[in-house]
Amino acid sequence: MERVCFRLQVRKEKMDEYVRRHAQVWPEMLAALSQTGWHNYSLYLDRNDGTLIGYLETPSLAAAKAGMEKTEINAKWQAEMAEFFVALEGKRPDEGFLQLEEVFHLN
């Protein structure tokens, strides 16, 4: 099982709306994430600067991302979420996150 941690940057002026949207994630999106291998998926937001840290566990991040790529709901969700982030350089949020290196895990 891969443990994946990533970072994105939420626009400061969009933080409240970003949090509201994640309080009401579409049921179809939640089902797609679960079905494609996104487990223990959590997001953490630093309200001081908009740093967003995501964490998930998956058998394969590449397979999980590829599985979501095949769903219509992911394309819709990513299109709606793109406006919330800075520095995506033309990528969707699920393509533009910076994956962090795990340097320690207490097992």
Number of domains observed in the structure of the chain = 1
pLDDT, one tens digit per residue, over 1-59 is 999 999 999 999 999 999 999 999 999 999 999 999 999 999 999 999 999 999 999 99
Question: How far apart are alpha carbons 47 and 64 in whole angstroms?
Answer: 28
Active-site entry in 7, 11, 12, 22: 22
3-state class (DSSP) for residue 9: strand
Which pLDDT tens digit goes with each residue over 92-107?
899 889 999 999 999 8
The answer to whether position 75 is within a domain reads yes
The answer to whether residue 52 is domain-embedded is yes
Report how far Cα 43 is from the mean position of its chain's Cα atoms: 7
Residue 95 maps to a domain: no
Tell whether 17 is covered by a domain.
yes
Domain containing residue 18: CATH number: 3.30.70.100
Q: Is 22 a catalytic residue?
A: yes
**Rounded mean pLDDT, 71-82:** 94
Entry pTM: 0.92
What residue numbers bound the domain in which 77 lies? 2-84
pLDDT of residue 107: 85
89 found inside a domain:
no
Is 103 within the bounds of a domain?
no
CA 35 to chain centre: 15
What is the pLDDT confidence band of residue 90, given thresholds at 50, 70 and 90? confident
Predicted pLDDT of residue 89:
84
Distance CA 3, CA 92 (A): 22
